[in-house]
Chain A
Amino acid sequence: MSKKKHETPMLDELKKGPWPSFVKEIEKAAVKSETANDTLGQVEKSYRTRRGYWKHGGIVGVLGYGGGVIGRYTSLPEEFPGVKFFHTVRINQPSGWFYTSKALREICDIWDKYGSGLTNIHGSTGDLVLLGTNTESLEAIFAEYSSRGWDLGGSGSAMRTPSCCLGPARCEWSNINTLEINYQLTQEFQDELHRPAFPYKFKIKTSGCAVDCVASIARADLSIIGTWRGKIQIDQSEVQNYAKKGMNINAEIVNMCPTQCITYDGKEMKIDDAECSRCMHCIAKMTKALRPSGERGATLLMGSKAPIVVGSLLSWVIVPFIKLEPPYKELKELIRKMIEWWDENSKPRERIGEVIEIKGMRSFLEYIGVPPSPAQVKWPRKDPFIFFKDEDFEKVFKKGKY
């Protein structure tokens, strides 16, 4: 048993109130872990001095793998010896983050044996993250987890562990089988996930609809978002029920529609489906009255990233509609082409969205073989120059326009 080593008046403030506290959880782990105990001390010192003491990177990992372990160390090893090494291990999560309690106990038992006992379920990457172990334990940790069917996730310049929303397992709005797509892509890109050979990271996230519960549009180089091609079916009696229960349909639905394709005269709701961008706002608000119909598939968007090399980006449309059915051959081939183009055209540490911005959509679309479409226009062009190629003129002359 480990006694509390450090006075933590500032951290103690974060234990107050009715909400969960990470300090309470670290304190629980600190009862039997020196690493967790010194984590408290170091975090308290960081709060007091207003600076961080973690260093990260370097050469740690398991033999043959280029990712899944992120080296982390304290810059104050004499003061906090328990966190001299504080490596992070990423475990590839199951699609949709479904676990049995038996599986979670197994994960935690192994982690208590080799690590600090602290976890991050889940990290923003999607992986199940284990926080704080030393270099000598890494091979043993990997052997224990892999012998029970778990694998490491991605890190560094690699395909990152794909993640998805819980999709059709629990959500009636899912237009695609996000769980199966995620599993298939994870299997397809195993080599790229464990052997970092890309210019930089590449993330795939799949959402069943435009509500986008995994925030793929803001966090993934490739965002796969479920959509539909038919009309939105309207149950007018349920629309009336919403109005009777106090919903201000014009304020909350009609005026919030981004394409202004909905009208409501107090009796009947109408939707101009040709103008609808399938954003899901109305459907998510009036779940009993509105429902998508017709063919289901996905929109592929690309480019989102956090601000590191250049500013942050949101994904934009590349493929307005693609049917997604097993074995997802078309999707897998398209992703490989996208990665090939990126690999050929980028400098180190450039994300695919940045390279598309630099080189232009034309070069990218030509390479991956996707025709241009108005849905791909992110914003109106700002310069008056259009660069034509010789074949563009030939095409026009062949059509006999001039």
Chain B
Amino acid sequence: MEKEELKNKIFEYMQKYKGKKKLKEKDVWKGVGEETGVPGDEVKKALREMIDVGKLMYSYGGGASSVEIPSEEYLKEKGLL
């Protein structure tokens, strides 16, 4: 699978769980890996590239970290919107 296509699959996966479940990085590697058949390491790499450009972001609550789709406010603050 092309990397861009994989990134789209990751984003779709994140949208599916938005507001329903706090996803850890590992949940995404596993979940997308199972859906697409792409090895977890490749999903991890693609996920992190998305985080590096603000397509996804890390979040934190109750002592635990998760990955989320960023809000408009966050993107504005980072100069990405």
Contact = CB atoms under 8 A, between A and B. Distances in A.
B63 A200 contact: yes
A374 interface: no
B59 A197 contact: no
Nearest to B67: A66
B24 A135 contact: no
A152 to B, nearest CB: 12
B8 interface: no
Contact of A197 (B24, B54, B62, B68): B24
Interface string A66-90: 1100110000000000000000000
A269 B77 CA distance: 69
Contacts of B24: 157, 196-197, 199, 348
A201 B63 contact: yes
A158 interface: yes
Contacts of B52: 63-64
Nearest to A64: B52
Given A157-B24, A195-B48, A58 B54 contact: no
A349 B62 CA distance: 9
Given A196-B25, A197-B25, A308 B74 contact: no
B6 interface: no
B63 to A, nearest CB: 6
A186 interface: no
Interface string B41-81: 00000001001101001111111110010110010011000
Interface in A171-230: 195-197, 199-201
Contacts of B59: 58-59
B60 A156 contact: yes
A179 B58 CA distance: 31
A251 to B, nearest CB: 45
Contact of A158 (B51, B61, B65): B65
Contacts of B3: none
B18 interface: no
A70 to B, nearest CB: 8
Contacts of A59: 57, 59-60, 68, 70-71, 74
Given A158-B65, A197-B26, A65 B58 contact: yes
A213 B70 CA distance: 42
Given A63-B52, A195-B48, A136 B77 contact: yes
Nearest to B29: A197
A292 interface: no
B65 A157 contact: yes
A56 B74 CA distance: 17
Contacts of B78: 63, 139
B49 to A, nearest CB: 10
Contacts of A65: 58
Contact of B61 (A58, A61, A63, A197): A58
A195 B65 CA distance: 9
A86 B54 CA distance: 23
B60 A57 contact: yes
Nearest to B80: A63
B65 A196 contact: yes
A155 interface: yes
Report which residue of B25, B61, B65 has the largest number of chain A beta carbons within 10 angstroms of its beta carbon.
Answer: B65
A44 interface: no
A343 interface: yes
A64 B51 contact: yes
Report which residue of B52, B64, B70, B71 has the largest number of chain A beta carbons within 10 angstroms of its beta carbon.
Answer: B64
Given A58-B60, A196-B24, A197-B26, 18 more contacts: A57-B61, A57-B62, A59-B57, A59-B59, A59-B60, A59-B71, A61-B58, A64-B52, A66-B51, A66-B60, A156-B64, A157-B63, A157-B64, A195-B48, A196-B65, A199-B24, A199-B64, A349-B62
Interface of B: 24-26, 48, 51-52, 54, 57-65, 68, 70-71, 74, 77-78
12 contacts: A59-B74, A61-B60, A63-B78, A66-B65, A71-B60, A139-B78, A157-B63, A157-B64, A196-B60, A197-B26, A199-B24, A348-B64
